[in-house]
Homo-oligomer: A and B are copies of this chain.
Amino acid sequence: MATGRTHRPATRSRGIPEATVARLPLYLRALTALSERSVPTVSSEELATAAGVNSAKLRKDFSYLGSYGTRGVGYDVEYLVYQISRELGLTQDWPVVIVGIGNLGAALANYGGFASRGFRVAALIDADPAQTGKLVAGLPVRHTDELEEIVERNQVSIGVIATPAGAAQEVCDRLVAAGVTSILNFAPTVLSVPDGVDVRKVDLSIELQILAFHEQRKAGEDLGEAVARGTLPKAAEEAADRPGPDGDVPAVMPA
C-alpha cells in the first residue's frame, strides 16, 4: 500500500485485515470525542456516522478484535477506547525522531496529535549546522552526526523523514542501521528498506494530483469533455500534438 518494498504479505497482521487496522485510528478519534462528552455507550450506527464509515463495516471491523458490544445497547465507549488503544499499541510510549526540520518538520514537531496518542518526540534532527541548537516546539535541534547515538540511547523504533528527497534514502539507511524499524516518509521518494522494516509514505502533492484528476473529469462532463482534450493551454511546447490513441512512433526525444 504505502511501502517501498514490493512484496507484502498483507494479511500477516494476525487475523486483523490491513484495511481494518487503517480504520481503527478513525474509530478511536470518534470515540475519544464521545468520551470527552461523557457519552457512556454508542451504537454501531452512531459511531459509524461519526467516523464516516458504513455501520456494517464498523461492526465487522470490531468483530476482528472480539465481541466487545452488547446487543440491544451498543458499545461501551470507555471500554472500546481502551481496547482499540491496546490493539494499536497506544497504551505504551513510542519515542519518535523527526529528521529534517524544515517547514514540514517543524509543523510535525508542533503537531499536538502525536503526544495525545502515545507518541513522544524524542529528538529533532537536521543536517544544517545553522539549525543546530535552535529550539523547535521546545526541543533543541540536534545535528545529523548524532543520529545514531540518539536513536540507540532512546530506543527509538519509529522515525519520521521530512528531509528533501535527495537526502531521504541516506537518512533512512542510517535510521534503519541504528535500529529503527518503522518509517513515516514525507519525502517524495521511494525508499528501499530491508525486510522487517515498515515504511508508510505521505505525499502531499500526490493527494492534490488525485483531486485534480477528478476535478478535470467533473469539468469535462459539464462542458462536453471536448475542452479538456482539445484545448491544451500549454505543455504542447516541446512535445508535438498527439491526438491519436496509438500508432505513434515513440521518437519524440531527440538524441
Which residues on A are within 8 Å of B, measured CB to CB? 3-7, 13-14, 21-22, 24-26, 28-30, 32-33, 35-36, 38, 40-41, 49-54, 65-68, 70, 73, 75-79, 81-83, 85-94, 96, 102-104, 106-108, 110-119, 157-158, 160, 181-184, 188, 190, 196, 198, 200, 202-218, 228, 232-239, 242, 244-255
Contact = CB atoms under 8 A, between A and B. Distances in A.
A42 to B, nearest CB: 11
A66 B198 contact: no
A4 B53 CA distance: 8
Given A79-B239, A228-B89, A233-B68, A96 B208 contact: yes
B254 A116 contact: yes
Nearest to A73: B250
Given A218-B196, A234-B91, A239-B76, A255 B211 contact: no
Contacts of A236: 79
A248 B212 contact: no
A24 to B, nearest CB: 7
A90 B108 CA distance: 28
B209 A184 contact: no
B237 A76 contact: yes
Q: Is the interface of A mostly helix, strand, loop or mixed?
A: mixed
Contacts of A54: 6-7
Contact of A188 (B29, B115, B234): B29
- Which residue of A67, A91, A111 has the most chain B CB atoms within 10 A of its CB atom? A91
A30 B206 CA distance: 13
A233 B75 CA distance: 14
A79 B112 CA distance: 44
A215 B94 contact: yes
Contact of A79 (B51, B116, B248): B248
Given A33-B252, A36-B250, A200-B207, A245 B85 contact: yes
